[in-house]
Amino acid sequence: MGERYRHVVSVLARVLVLNLIVAVSKLVLGYVTGAVSVVSDGFHSLTDCFSNLGAMVGVRVARKPPDHDHPYGHRKYETIAAAAIAGFLIVVMIEIIETAWGRFRAGTSPEVTPMVFAVMAGTIGINLLVTRYERRAGVRLSSEVLLADAMHTQSDVWTSMAVIAALTGAALGYPVLDPLAAVIVVAFIGRAAWEIFRSTSEVLSDHIVIPEGQVRDVVMSVPHVMGCHEIRTRGSRDFVFLDLHIWMAAETQLDAAHGISHVVKDRLMATFPQIGDAVIHLEPPPREDDPRNLT
């Protein structure tokens, strides 16, 4: 786990440098040309930098081993850091809407030059590389924070393309397209925020991680196990906590039953390497009239 966290932080550090280059380029370009759409896109990219920093802090906390106050470890701090990214997005949405409304009322037109299109195209290229790199690393390392940040960066690509379209319209004599493009930016940001909230809330609300049927199939493959129920999983995709009850014959001696439970646990953890710990409760099979026979 320590090696995994080190790789996640390393990815975030590299992405932070690239995001900073993109954000500064857009903000300088936007303020020089007076294009509110470019400034808005620059603020969107700047939140990438803040979310990278927040994620790095969250990951460093998440790597701490279990302690007296956190017997299940600190893994959910990484999920909390991913949720914080969505919080940054909401803040920037409000800022963009206020700026776009002010520009719409003023009715001013931005200065559109070939340099504007060149810079915007360059930032799109960088964001595409970052998105692909971060998503592949997120899948490889099973990191919600990297996947969430990749989703955030991908939204930058779409918003930048909308900004280029708006600037083209402004150059053709339709300056109103500049603040309207800022509204499109808000829509893309809002969608990214919703997707991040949805994925992180599943972890924080202890949504099931491994389907019950898959766990039951593994358990029932162990000799002398007569059945199982109360199967529950929670946690993140890469670090799952599992607990369940297994049935064994009532005459089974305690040491034998204990040994069988370890076989069950070892087989489960071999089948599902993402299981961090499994708690198994032993009990005799229910009577015929017991409602548990229906599970």
Contacts of 281 (CB under 8 A, 6+ apart): 230, 243, 244, 245, 246
How distant is the alpha carbon of residue 113 from its chain centre? Answer: 37
Per-residue CA distances from 20 to 27, 152, 284 (Å): 11, 14, 61
Looking at residue 2, what is its pLDDT? 63
Tell me, yes or no, if the two domains 2-204 and 212-294 fold the same way.
Answer: no
Looking at residue 244, what is its pLDDT? 95
> Rounded CA gap, 126 and 37, in Å?
19
- The region, left, alpha or beta by phi > 0 then psi within -120 to 50, assigned to residue 198 is alpha
Return the CATH fold of 2-204: Alpha-lytic protease prodomain-like (1.20.1510)
Domain at 212-294: CATH code: 3.30.70.1350
Task: Between 50 and 215, name the one with better pLDDT.
Answer: 215
Instruction: Tell me the pLDDT band of 226, cut-offs 50, 70 and 90.
Output: very high
Report long-range pairs for 39-43 (Cβ below 8 Å, ≥24 apart). Answer: 39/99, 40/95, 40/96, 40/99, 40/100, 40/163, 40/181, 40/182, 40/185, 40/186, 41/156, 41/159, 41/160, 41/163, 41/185, 43/92, 43/95, 43/96
Instruction: Tell me the pLDDT band of 45, cut-offs 50, 70 and 90.
Output: confident
Which residue reads 């009239």 in tokens? Answer: 289
| Domain ranges across the chain | 2-204, 212-294
Q: Is the pLDDT of residue 119 over 60?
A: yes
pTM above 0.75, yes or no: no
The stretch 91-101 carries a mean pLDDT of 76
